[in-house]
Amino acid sequence: MKAVIQRVNECSVTVNKAITGQIKEGLLILLGIEDADTQEDIIWLSNKILNLRIFDDEQGVMNKSLIDIKGELLLVSQFTLHASTKKGNRPSYIKASKPSFAIPMYEKMIAQFENELQHAIKTGIFGADMQVQLVNNGPVTIIIDTKNRE
């Protein structure tokens, strides 16, 4: 799994001119799934994201996690995170999982986040043409690949 994590002041995702998910202070997670991903990747990644100390404490130092600030989370599937640009100028998405594998993994990630946070999270719609709007706070953007554990 690959994840792009953005600390946001606010964020929303719209499909067919209707907002499907909207949050205030928290994290926007863009998630790419590949066939080699497992339940272990889901558990490791969700734990890493929820405990990343990337929110400011009282002294303005990034020392608090999403859990610490009781922030919100918006999860959006994004197969293009697995783009390969090695050959030519048209990206290849061969490493990105097909929906038959990716949708259940995406749903498991949602359930994992909700279980750890003890409340529902906001999401986009898997496979839809989505418009994402955000106010990136910082800006703070972090990329994590579960295959490298970094």
Q: Which of the residues are catalytic?
A: 80
What is the C-alpha separation between 92 and 82, in angstroms, rounded? 8
The number of angstroms, rounded, from the C-alpha of 85 to the middle of its chain's C-alpha atoms is 22
User: How far is CA 58 from its chain centroid?
Assistant: 26
Tokens of 73: 């989370």
> Which residue in 12, 31, 30, 29 sits closest to 21, CA to CA?
12
